[in-house]
Amino acid sequence: MPNENENKCADKNLDRRRFLKSAAVGAAGLALSSCSSSSFQAFFQDHFREMDKDELLSTLKRMEEEYSKKYGKKFTVSAEAPIDETLFGYGLDISRCIGCRRCVYACVEENNQSRDPQIHWISVLRFKKGDKWMDLENSTKYYDPEKVPEDGYFYVPIACQQCENPPCTKVCPVQATWKEPDGIVVVDYNWCIGCRYCMAACPYGARHFNLTDPGLPAEEVNPKTHYLGNRPRPRGVVEKCTFCIQRTRKGLYPACSEICPMGARKFGNILDPESEIRYLIDKKRVFRLKEDLNTLPKFYYFI
């Protein structure tokens, strides 16, 4: 009778974990044998969606200890679950946006994005008045935010559109990215192998790759994190906006909507007929980017 390991090796449909267990243990086992027990446990942890309660709790605790030690601050890593009967949606009033980019920097701070090299999950695109703004190629993100608003221009902030039909999740060969029941598209950074297929599939340029170790100064780090959101990322994984999952699943607004001085950003539960976002969708003339692709964004622009 073949033992369990031999059965796994015989399985033609090797998933990532099995692949790591079988192929990599042989090749990388020697290297790992010199790693800390924390790295060793991280290497063998299950996919987020496959962890049982005990494994999840011990994984969160291990991460909290690791990050607290690394950054010299007490970290919390939550795994706050989606709220029942909730589908998050975002609204952006283009006529109010002045292109100041405060949302960009609030997002960087809240979500622990790399300062050097810079990673920005939000881009603010500038268009000439009269140009078709649905045509993103007509825009630039290189303008001086000190001089806004500029005569003859308007601004369109863009980030992950949290598509209801996301092309990025379908191409991931190891299911490291998926859509949650509240509509947020997430990434398990421990599971991502950095192949970047999802970046190629995203029509909005919303995914970002950590080519090198993220430059995240200890004094600037935000220690309140979520496993699927703003916890520190390693080199070689893809990351993206999660509608501030660590805040919004606790009933708070995303950092970008809270900071906006013009009140241009609206957020809420699309399924709640009394919500502001639902009012906007029902009553205003709303647009979604690249609607023809059938990605069904939950990010609504209105004027």
Query: Site residues (CB under 6 A) for ligand SF4?
Result: 97-103, 124, 155, 157, 171-172, 174, 176-177, 187, 192-198, 238, 259-260, 262, 264-265
Looking at the Cβ atoms of 83 and 96, the one nearer to ligand SF4 is 96
- Tokens 């308007």, residue? 154
What's the min distance (Å) between Cβ of 9 and ligand SF4?
A: 23
- My answer on whether omega of the bond before 167 falls inside 30° of 0, hence cis, is no
What's the min distance (Å) between Cβ of 103 and ligand SF4?
A: 3
**Spatial separation of the C-alpha atoms in residues 225 and 239, rounded to whole Å:** 14
What's the min distance (Å) between Cβ of 107 and ligand SF4?
A: 9
Looking at the Cβ atoms of 53 and 147, the one nearer to ligand SF4 is 147
What's the min distance (Å) between Cβ of 92 and ligand SF4?
A: 7
What's the min distance (Å) between Cβ of 126 and ligand SF4?
A: 10
Looking at the Cβ atoms of 247 and 265, the one nearer to ligand SF4 is 265
Looking at the Cβ atoms of 249 and 265, the one nearer to ligand SF4 is 265
Closest CA to 267 of 226, 241, 300: 300
**Spatial separation of the C-alpha atoms in residues 226 and 77, rounded to whole Å:** 5
Looking at the Cβ atoms of 97 and 119, the one nearer to ligand SF4 is 97
**Spatial separation of the C-alpha atoms in residues 180 and 170, rounded to whole Å:** 14
Burial 6-32 (b: 16+ CB within 10 A, else e): eebeeeeeeebbeebbeeeeeeeeeee
Closest CA to 130 of 100, 153, 98: 153
CB atoms within 10 A of CB 102: 17
- Cα angle vertex 299, ends 298, 303, to 5°? 135
What's the min distance (Å) between Cβ of 65 and ligand SF4?
A: 25
Looking at the Cβ atoms of 80 and 258, the one nearer to ligand SF4 is 258
